[in-house]
Structure 1
Amino acid sequence: MEKRNYTTVTEFILLGLSSQPEKQELIFALFLVMYLIGAAGNLLIVLAISLDSHLHTPMYFFLSNLSLVDFCFTSATVPKMLLNIHTQTKSISREGCLTQIYFCILLANMDNFLLTTMAYDRYVAICYPLQYTTMMSLQLCFLMLAGSWLIANFHSLLHTLLMARLDFCAKNVIPYFFCDLVPLLQLSCSDTQINQLMILLVGGLIVLIPFLCILVSYIHIVSAVLKVPSARGKQKAFSTCGSHLTVVILFYGTITGVYLNPSSSHSTEKESVASVMYMVVTPMLNPFIYCLRNNEIKRALKKMFSRQNSSHSP
């Protein structure tokens, strides 16, 4: 048999959001501000919940984990992008690309699972208020969290290992600011049928099942709230779900924009904007959504800052 000569790709080129040099400073400043705002907001929520004993409940236990995951989610991609702009390079090693894929899938799955556990928590709180303490025990919360991490790790490891076995022979340009599964598969010169099948089957189930669980939870929640006789009671019940529901809509709406558009409507510009919404804007907005709509989080933050100010006063 005749051997074919080819060069094995050892690094990839991340095109980013724009190839125009005059826009790089603006993009750098914009993403740096968004990253710092999102990181500060999410870490403040984690700190406020950990310091306030009144917030040591299942609802805020899951919220603190969601904020921590959102901080890690943006940290998996944005610092590398900022470094590339600052150093005027667009390269990422093959190992770095696979590492980025692993953490992006892991943390996106955790967002998905944590939103589902929070929906279940609200379902129990509204539909079974008298049994809430026993049904949402500390052991169950830790079990749900550990199970989420286990499944998320398995899923991200599966795709990373399947990607690691592929060969990349010539093309190495990724039209995004981070490494993603689908554009990377399009660059491979190996057979990618197994990879695509796993994305369709396993990835589809991991997104669809939690989404259906959230949908069923809210159907029961709405049904239970509508049976409440007083308007004030209905408003109070809905207000406890408002922040979570807003985050759910934002999360699944941006996922739809990135991955579920028909192929005929795909364009690099649209997908880049959608990926920014999904990877950067949504994790940045989450702490603001919870702070603006949740009085207990506001109180905990005020308490934390007042305690800090009093400790610095003479």
Structure 2
Amino acid sequence: MAVETLAPVEGGTGLGSGRGRILSSLRHNPLGIAGGIMLLVVVLAALLAPVLAPYPPTEVHFDTPFQRPLTEGFPLGTDDLGRDVLSRLLFGIQTSLQVGVLSVLLAVVIGTPLGLLAGYSRGFDAVISRLTDVTLAFPFLIIAVGLAAISGPSLSNAAIALGIAQIPTMIRVVRGETLRIKESDFVLGARTMDASPVWIMLRHVLPNATSAIIVQATVIMPVAVIGEALLSFLGLGIQPPTPSLGIMLSDAQQYIFRAPSAAIFPGLAIAAICLAFNLFGDALRDAFDPTNTTRK
């Protein structure tokens, strides 16, 4: 997925050179503000889960299964084992964000240098781009499910599988930015001064590609959250009794008509997380685009 960024600035970064304009654009973007607020709420809910949760997420109450929302002591009701849905939801959000952040970091750490090499060096491009094209021929979730099945179900393995599946997309984005930036005057000037390719990539190309990397990270984050929920739903991700939004959906599916709230709330949480990242990511993309004329 290609994204537009700030125009290259010699010796500077794509972020710092237009920081005031970026902040001004974000302040005048209602959807971006809404996404930022939702994202802040989601992050705070994950960080404060041990404080906000009324009960431990694995605590069972066999005498109060299938309680409706707003029941005394159980704001969002209980599941089939009498576990508090709100407590499990908060810790499930925490787990989803953990997996999402780890997978995005893995994709950025591996995909960025490979994308730089592919975009700057024709020799590396011939190998990296062909491997990337082959990998992108397979659906993202198929790759993630296959890797998770091979490595075994766990939080770390789920994060690694999702991160590896996202690497080709990150490579393509960084490669495209590198191809654009390396034709800039200041890069051509650095070449005439016999600057090494490594110096040019680190000093000139990478800083000006930072905005594209950040935007792409916000794009793949909700994909990672959905991927974690899918892996956990299939039994290939987080394992019980650790709470996960995917596990909550899996446990609730057989009781959907008896206790619909046990499935509705995890589904809404996944939708809210993805919507928050998508809205904020779109706002960042518009803010980083100097040609955007829709801002006031």
Same-fold status (TM-score > 0.5):
no
Q: TM-score of the superposition, structure 1-length normalised? A: 0.29
Could you say which structure has the higher helix fraction?
1
